Amino acid sequence: MQRMGQVIGIDPARIEDYKREHAAVWPKVLERITACHIRNYTIFLRQPENLMFAYFEYHGTDYAADMAAMATDPVTQDWWKLCMPMQRPLDSRAPDDWWAPMEPVFHLD
């Protein structure tokens, strides 16, 4: 299992929209997340900085393949079209990243 952390900004004018959409995530999106071996997925919001932090645990054996499968799923693509305009990617992210990955520096079970 891999612990994953990611960060992204959010448009402050769209925070309530983002919260509303995530209070009722489409069932097919949730099914795809689960099918791609993601567990314990949580998104946190930090205001007034307007940053979101995502944490999840990856339980698969080929993260790149699972993320590619997620990216080609039509329902997930529609979900991203809804959510991405609300998000503000960090300038420091890698060119192929939307959410910027974070390095784990400490963990205690």
> Averaged over 67-80, what is the pLDDT?
98
Q: What per-residue confidence (pLDDT) applies to 23? A: 97
Measuring CA to CA, which residue among 87, 71, 68, 69 is closest to residue 22? Answer: 87
* Span 13-60, pLDDT tens digits: 999 999 999 999 999 999 999 999 999 999 999 999 999 999 999 999
Q: Going from the N-terminus, what domains does the chain have, and what CATH number goes with each?
A: 2-102 (3.30.70.1090)
Q: What per-residue confidence (pLDDT) applies to 78? A: 98
Say if residues 39 and 56 touch (Cβ distance below 8 Å). Answer: yes
Q: What per-residue confidence (pLDDT) applies to 6? A: 97
Q: What per-residue confidence (pLDDT) applies to 52? A: 98
Say if residues 9 and 84 touch (Cβ distance below 8 Å). Answer: no
Compute the distance between CA of residue 36 and CA of residue 32 in angstroms, rounded to an integer: 6
